[in-house]
Amino acid sequence: MEKIIVSGGRKLQGTVKVEGAKNAVLPVIAASIMASKGRSVLHDVPALADVVTMKEVLHNMNASVQFQDNTITVNAVKPLITEAPFEYVRKMRASVLVLGPMLSRFGHAKVAMPGGCAIGSRPIDLHLKGFEAMGAKVHVGNGYVEVFSEGRLKGAKIYLDVPSVGATENIMMAAALAEGRTVIENAAKEPEIVDLANFLNKMGAKVIGAGTEMIKIDGAPQLHGVEHTIIPDRIEAGTFMVAAAITGGNVLIKGAESEHMRSLISKMEEMGVQFFEEEDGLRVIGPEQLKPTDLKTLPHPGFPTDMQSQMMALMLNAVGTSVITETVFENRFMHVEEFRRMNAKVKIEGRSVIVEGPITLQGAEVAATDLRAGAALILAGLNAEGYTRVTALNHIDRGYVDIAGKLARLGADIERVDDADEAMLDTIENQRLSAL
Ligand SMILES: CC(=O)N[C@H]1[C@@H](OP(=O)(O)OP(=O)(O)OC[C@H]2O[C@@H](n3ccc(=O)[nH]c3=O)[C@H](O)[C@@H]2O)O[C@H](CO)[C@@H](O)[C@@H]1O
Ligand SMILES: C=C(OP(=O)(O)O)C(=O)O
């Protein structure tokens, strides 16, 4: 079994470059299958497990996809197989993002119904209601959702009960090939929505208002392949910001887009962390002593749920009591139990967690329960006594490219090992101790 082993106590120094955003590239790859003319070339694509899964989803549909050196080329000109089976959706919920593109281009899509996951039940009812409003028929049964449309979808006015990122994306993509205008009200405003809208506009659709709560989409009869560069990953950047802060380090995060991270920067500033805009990125300097704070996760521009567990790791090191309230997902506190294994004083009260700091965290065997929880455990390990061994790396690999290597290059004592490597490390450590 592979593990990331981290030993705490080193201040991080240096420069780290942000990858392209996972949550932007997945919908953009899905949208690329709507091009019936020309191929799409996407740059700054991170080499993540989720990107490989999305590539497999498209490949299984008979699209031609090449992925090399952070560039993906998609050619979907010939008719595709309009199905995404369970094996892909099981690995990655974002596979449901091919529903809108397939439905609007081919009049049919069949995708395995995503189940709940470690962070909540995560239904797709709002995606399906949107398609229905545009004239599609929806059938759910035998673990699959199947959507049909006779002729082109029709533009419609759609109000989302919650500003769901996935529903906004799926409806935007379906609307890009629909007849007439679609208006999405109470739309999600995340930067990744804006990136998708820019991509759809280049392909030939007309999307206005992305990044606000009302998005208007005028569909085109046909879309064409284009070249596009993916926006930087604000959650990867945020994770390195916490790494710098938690160790009292000084790190330049190259390519970080601070406009996308206002709520996070402001919370970290409240905790005493300093930020300096530089020409090619954002410099983060951790304080000698962190102050406590309270935060509530909300849809963008509120505090992102995908940074909640990493901020909990930071709060464990603050002097005083902090409170985190999670409002986006109903069950995103699985990391709390793992933090307790590291001696953390954390208590769940309904949708909130009370974090008592400062505490001397102790290295322990812990498991990543989802990808951000995994990152948070590594972050906690950066300031813990002794060795923290993080397992279930498959979660972390979904959203981080070589996180251990990048932290090591910033000076952390961290290594990714398999069982054989670990046995050898234990022998070396035992020899060192017996020689003392
Ligand atoms: C690939 C991707 O971009 N993933 C992100 C996306 O997930 P995802 O798009 O799945 O998240 P949503 O914004 O859709 O979910 C937000 C909330 O809405 C609920 N909901 C959603 C759809 C629906 O049809 N019905 C419904 O009730 C969900 O259960 C959840 O409680 O946004 C989340 C919220 O910022 C992030 O944590 C994920 O990293
Ligand atoms: C929850 C996340 O992703 P996904 O929606 O792909 O599960 C995430 O990126 O933190």
Segment 290-341, tens digit of pLDDT:
999 999 999 999 999 999 999 999 999 999 999 999 999 998 999 999 999 9
Domain count, the chain: 2
Same domain, 341 and 320: yes
pLDDT at 428 over 80: no
Residues 248 and 396 in one domain: yes
Residue 424: pLDDT band with limits 50, 70, 90:
confident
From CA 21, how far away is CA 25, in angstroms rounded? 6
Q: What pLDDT does 432 receive?
A: 66
Say whether both 125 and 212 belong to one domain. yes
Beta bridge partners of 362: 385
Report whether residue 234 contacts ligand 2, using a CB cutoff of 6 Å: no
Domain ranges, residue 195: 22-229
Query: Amino acid identity of 384?
Result: A
- For residue 422, what pLDDT is reported? 75
For position 431, which CATH number holds? 3.65.10.10
Q: Same domain for 261 and 332?
A: yes
pLDDT tens track for 394-409: 999 999 999 999 999 9
Closest CA to 395 of 96, 3, 113: 3
Q: How confident is the model at residue 262 (pLDDT cuts 50, 70, 90)?
A: very high
For residue 360, pLDDT over 80 is answered with yes
For residues 245 and 278, state if they share a domain. Answer: yes
pTM of the complete model = 0.96
Give residue 429's pLDDT.
67
pLDDT in tens, 34-43: 999 999 999 9
Q: Are residues 39 and 15 in the same domain?
A: no
Q: Which of 168, 196, 229 is the last residue of a domain?
A: 229
Ligand nearest the Cα of residue 307 is: 2
306 is in an annotated binding site: yes
Name all residues whose Cβ lies below 6 A of ligand 1. Answer: 23, 26, 94, 120, 122-127, 162, 164-167, 188, 305-306, 328-329
The number of the ligand nearest the C-alpha atom of 371 reads: 2
Q: Does position 256 have pLDDT exceeding 70, yes or no?
A: yes
> Domain check: are 201 and 327 in the same one?
no
Per-residue pLDDT averaged across 10-24, rounded? 98
Q: Is 216 annotated as a binding residue?
A: no
pLDDT digits (tens, 9 = 90+) for 136-176: 999 999 999 999 999 999 999 999 999 999 999 999 999 99
Predicted local confidence at residue 382, as pLDDT: 98
Q: Which among 229, 257, 292 is the end of a domain?
A: 229
| pLDDT range class, residue 118, cuts 50, 70, 90 | confident
Residue whose CA lies nearest to ligand 1 atom number 39:
306
Structure tokens given for 264: 């996070």
Is 122 annotated to bind a ligand? Reply is yes
Separation of CA 94 and ligand 1 centre (Å): 10
Average the pLDDT over 226-249 and give the result: 98
Residues 286, 326: one domain?
yes
Residue nearest to atom 10 of ligand 1 (CA): 166
Q: Are residues 184 and 284 in the same domain?
A: no
**151 with 178, same domain?**
yes
Ligand 1 pocket test, candidate residues 127, 165, 332, most atoms within 8 A of CB = 165
The answer to whether residues 201 and 293 belong to one domain is no
**Residue of 113, 117, 220, 359 marked active site:** 117
User: Would you place residue 426 in the very low, low, confident or very high pLDDT band (cuts 50, 70, 90)?
Assistant: confident
The yes-or-no answer on residue 10 being catalytic is no
Whether residue 166 is found in the same domain as residue 95: yes
* Cβ–ligand 2 contact at 128 (below 6 Å): no
Residue 229: per-residue pLDDT? 98
Give the mean pLDDT of the chain.
96
Final residue before a domain boundary, out of 178, 199, 229: 229
Ligand 2 centre and the CA of 53: distance in Å?
Answer: 14
